[in-house]
Structure 1
């Protein structure tokens, strides 16, 4: 017997949040994703935890924020990801991810997602001085080569406020559109 359409599990989106000025508004992306039928869980880098209101995010998603590996035998607190949005993404996370460094839970999930074929989008939040570094451009090229969908957002001027109010959270869902639909 087939399940009624409204009883099928929702597709699940992991939002990886880094320590960047726009991170405090991650609820915007959560609301947009939930409005499109996604379940959402947040994975924060250890430094990213200080940039978000954990209580509000957990209330909004209904799941604990993950930032550290679970111990053997502990249950998985989030359903498996159908897609991942790294937003906002920092210079450090982008370069480590592209290099295959897995020294935090967030990076471990991102490195593993490639091998699992999970559609992943990247919304960098990097100032132009850091974006000029050759390692950053090489990292973006490597991630694109791995199939990561990268935002068209331009870097912001250093020490100029960063333009967090102009961060295009919706671009994560726009980029995921076709890839996410294929996994539902």
Structure 2
């Protein structure tokens, strides 16, 4: 069996501090993992970036490459975008590609790359009318959005438990995605 490539994209929400374990779990599931971060998540994980690159065998990406620079990652078989903050989730749904990970995810819809997204937002953020529109937009574009009873359930502001973030649900969902069309 050949190894499948998973792009794991994360933004700056507290569960991102557990990303090394998530990479190891994905690798145990048979994935070759390429880790992409929003600029803030990269800043949060700054001291760990070299170790994460060694763990994945690929450079950690958080910025667009310059014109003429070679692509350093293999093509993805799937994308797992988690944890996604309110801002990153909405920018993706709106097509605002101001960060590397949002740009790749937005383009991935058009390339029909199978994708799973799981937000990490509090109950106050989900009251904003754009959030439900973004959930509907991404689901309508074919993205598996793990939000609600079978995915991420929002917590009250300031009361989230990063250890309770349902990473296994996300990894199982990406494992169960259909092959690329």
TM-score by length of 2: 0.91
On the 8 A contact 1:15/1:87 being kept in 2, the answer is: yes
Task: Report whether the alignment pairs 1:61 with 2:63.
Answer: no
What residue in structure 1 maps to residue 157 of structure 2?
A: 158
Q: CA deviation at 1:135?
A: 0.6
On the 8 A contact 1:44/1:66 being kept in 2, the answer is: yes
Task: Report whether the alignment pairs 1:38 with 2:31.
Answer: yes
Residues 130-176 of structure 1 show CA distances to partners (whole Å, capped at 9, x for unaligned) of 1111111110111111111111210111012x210101111222112
Q: CA deviation at 1:56?
A: 2.3
Task: Report whether the alignment pairs 1:128 with 2:123.
Answer: yes
What residue in structure 2 maps to residue 106 of structure 1?
A: 101
Residues 52-107 of structure 1 show CA distances to partners (whole Å, capped at 9, x for unaligned) of 22122112101111111111221111111110011110000111110111111111
Q: CA deviation at 1:110?
A: 0.6
Task: Report whether the alignment pairs 1:80 with 2:75.
Answer: yes
Distance in 1, Cα, partners of 2:145 & 2:88:
14
Distance in 2, Cα, partners of 1:57 & 1:172:
20
Distance in 2, Cα, partners of 1:170 & 1:74:
35
Distance in 2, Cα, partners of 1:51 & 1:17:
11
Distance in 1, Cα, partners of 2:54 & 2:156:
34
Structure 2 runs not aligned, ≥5 long? none
Distance in 2, Cα, partners of 1:91 & 1:97:
10
What residue in structure 2 maps to residue 47 of structure 1?
A: 40
On the 8 A contact 1:22/1:165 being kept in 2, the answer is: yes
**Structure (1 or 2) with the larger CA radius of gyration:** 1
Structure 1 runs not aligned, ≥5 long? none
Question: Which of 86, 93, 105 is residue 91 of structure 1 equivalent to?
Answer: 86
On the 8 A contact 1:28/1:169 being kept in 2, the answer is: no
